[in-house]
């Protein structure tokens, strides 16, 4: 168990990527900037209302590089985003283009929120 004010080794090994949110009429678009990361290096997870973006930049393997050079070329990104209640989790989509991961978070239609009605 880690004390609350001490970062764990896992948390310390990640960088939070730059990101932007744009609200549209029917969705929110989340752009996450992960330069040098290809599609195989991206992992998106949902844990309840938490969207977790993990990305790993794999360095090119060059015969004359030293081990220290490889360490600097690797990069781990992690971003946690709490989603609003109205996001349709079953309709979330994403695409990656030139180091920008675009995650599309569609709004639920009126009356389609995850709620329990009391009669």
Q: Is residue 70 part of a domain?
A: yes
53 SS3 class: strand
**Which 8-state DSSP code applies to residue 70?**
H
Structure tokens at 16: 């939070």
Give the helix/strand (H/E) hosting 76: strand 75-82
Q: Are β-strands 27-33 and 75-82 bridged in parallel, bridged antiparallel, or unpaired?
A: unpaired
Q: What is the pTM of this model?
A: 0.72
Higher pLDDT, 17 or 2: 17
3-state secondary structure of 6: coil
CATH of the domain at 83: 2.60.40.790
The total domain count for the chain is 1
Whether residue 118 is contained in a domain is answered as no
Residue 119 lies in a domain: no
Indicate whether 81 pLDDT > 70.
yes
Confirm whether 49 is domain-assigned: yes
Band (pLDDT 50/70/90 cuts) for residue 118 is confident
Domain for residue 18, yes or no?
A: yes
Domain range holding 39? Answer: 13-106
């Amino acid at each position: 168990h880690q004390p609350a004010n001490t970062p764990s080794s896992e948390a310390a090994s990640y960088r939070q990527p730059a990101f932007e949110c744009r609200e549209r009429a029917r969705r929110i678009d989340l752009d996450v900037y992960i330069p040098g990361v290809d599609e195989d290096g991206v992992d998106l997870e949902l844990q309840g209302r938490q969207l977790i973006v993990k990305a790993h930049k794999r360095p090119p393997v060059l015969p004359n590089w030293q081990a220290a050079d490889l360490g600097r070329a690797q990069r781990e990104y992690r971003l946690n985003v709490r989603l609003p209640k109205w996001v349709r989790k079953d309709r979330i989509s994403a695409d990656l283009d030139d180091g920008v991961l675009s995650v599309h978070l569609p709004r639920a239609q009126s009356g389609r929120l995850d709620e329990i009605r009391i009669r």
